[in-house]
Every structure is written in C-alpha cells, then in structure tokens.
A and B are shown apart, each in its own frame.
Chain A
Amino acid sequence: DAGVIQSPRHEVTEMGQEVTLRCKPISGHDYLFWYRQTMMRGLELLIYFNNNVPIDDSGMPEDRFSAKMPNASFSTLKIQPSEPRDSAVYFCASEEGGRNEQFFGPGTRLTVL
C-alpha cells in the first residue's frame, strides 16, 4: 500500500483565494482525520470522519473551513477565503477502527500571502 496520499505537497496562495487540500486514505481504513500543525499551536485535530460521516468537527476554526468525504477513498479540506493565519502544515491521517494506530500522510505545507 502506498500509505496516505496528500496533494498538493506545497501550496502558495494569496489572501482571499480558495484552497482545496486532498487526501486519499489507506484502503480499508474507516477513520480519517485532518490535523493542522503550527509552531504556535502544535498539532490540532480539525475534524474526523468514520465511514465517510463527520463525527467531530469541533476543531474546525471557523466557517471558512469545510471538509468533505464523498467516498471511502477521498477527502477534501477547503478554506474559503484563505487568510495569512491559515498558513500551516495540514496532515491527513487514517486508521482502521480498533487498531489504535493512525497513519499520517506527508502533509501539505500551505502558505497564504
């Protein structure tokens, strides 16, 4: 298995633009997580899904952020409009329920100018 795949690996955009981050979880994993990592705030859980259904989105910072999981092999995290304070590394992780091990993707480094 190729592991968790994220795209793009790097994204540079201007304030006000829409940004879409993509994630393909490991096949057979029924949990998917989106995290944000910054120097100031560390690793924060934004939202997680179980069987494509959002379970807890309490970490989503504000309405500018949205996440979807239309099927078991694909998820998106969208920021619209983006702001400079959204600059961070965004990780997607997946887990097979009950195994207690999250597998992380390589991350997307987002820079909002």
Chain B
Amino acid sequence: AQSVTQLDSQVPVFEEAPVELRCNYSSSVSVYLFWYVQYPNQGLQLLLKYLSGSTLVKGINGFEAEFNKSQTSFHLRKPSVHISDTAEYFCAVTRNTGGFKTIFGAGTRLFVKA
C-alpha cells in the first residue's frame, strides 16, 4: 500500500519569499506523484505531476517539485510567492502499475502574508 506524509500542516510566509512544502511517500512499488492545490471553497486542481523522466517537474503558477527516489520525497517549491498563492496544497501518490486509487496527504495550508 502507498502512503503520503506532509510534514507541515501550516506554512506562513511573506510575499515574494521562497517557499518549500514537504512531502514524503511510502510505497513498495513504483509510483506516480502529484501536487494539487485547493483554493477556498473550491475543488482541487492539479499543479504538477511526476510520471517518469526528469526528476524536476515544473507546474502551473511557477511551482516546481523534485522527485527524490532515495529520500522518497517530492517537495514542492516556489522561488517567490504571491498573496494569491494562499491555499491548501495536497501531495498525492498512486501506483503506476494499474489501478486508480490515489492516496492524498493531509494537506499543507500555505498562508502568504503581505
């Protein structure tokens, strides 16, 4: 079975500062990894995904994440955040050998302060 741990429940940061949201996963098989974002009163939307290939993945809104197999991590980063990035961010994992059961982490609330 797969599992996901998001190490920080809340991350406050000032506008234009860099941010890293941490995610570790556990799986006995190869996986696909995802970051989703949820703005207030909305559903989740995909930020980026790692399926294979380059371990540095770029997504929407200037976010990127790096897959580190040895560390079993998939941390999300942005070099300069905006107020509009305030949202909840979810790391997710699914096995890459069939089946579509995606396991979501508990979420990290990013709060960008002016």
Co-complex (A, B): yes
Give A contacts to B, CB under 8 Å.
Answer: 4, 31, 33, 42-43, 45, 48, 50, 55-56, 91, 93, 95, 97, 100-107
Contact present for A48 and B100 (CB under 8 Å): yes
**Contact A104 B43, CB 8 Å, known A42-B107, A43-B107:** yes
The A interface, classified by DSSP as helix, strand, loop or mixed, is: strand
Partner of A100, one of B41, B49, B101, B104: B49
User: CB distance A43 to B51 under 8 Å?
Assistant: no
Q: Is the CB of B101 within 8 A of A93?
A: no
Given A42-B106, A100-B51, A101-B49, A4 and B101 contact (CB-CB distance below 8 Å):
no
- A50 vs B98: C-alpha distance in the bound complex, in angstroms? 13
Choose among B43, B101, B103, B105 the residue that contacts A107 (Cβ–Cβ < 8 A): B43
**CB–CB A4/B43 < 8 A:** yes
Q: How many residues of B contact A (CB 8 A)?
A: 20
- CB contacts (< 8 Å) of A48 on chain B: these are 100-101
Cβ contact within 8 Å between A45 and B45: no
User: B100, A91: Cβ atoms under 8 Å?
Assistant: no
Residues of A within 8 A of B101 (CB): 45, 48, 56
B102 contacts chain A at the CB level, 8 A cutoff: yes
Interface centre among B34, B44, B103, B105, by most chain A C-beta atoms within 10 angstroms, is: B44
On chain A, the residues within 8 Å of B107 by CB distance are 42-43
Decide yes or no whether B32 CB sits under 8 A from chain A: yes
Q: Which residues of B sit under 8 angstroms from A56, Cβ to Cβ?
A: 101
Min CB gap A19→B, angstroms: 19
Min CB–CB distance A4 → chain B (angstroms) = 7
Separation in Å of the B44 CB from the closest CB of chain A?
5
Bound form: Cα–Cα A45–B44 in Å:
13
How far is it, in angstroms, between the C-alpha of A97 and the C-alpha of B98 when the chains are bound? 11
9 A-B residue pairs with Cβ-Cβ distance under 8 Å, sorted by A, are A45-B103, A48-B101, A50-B100, A97-B100, A101-B46, A101-B49, A102-B102, A103-B45, A107-B42
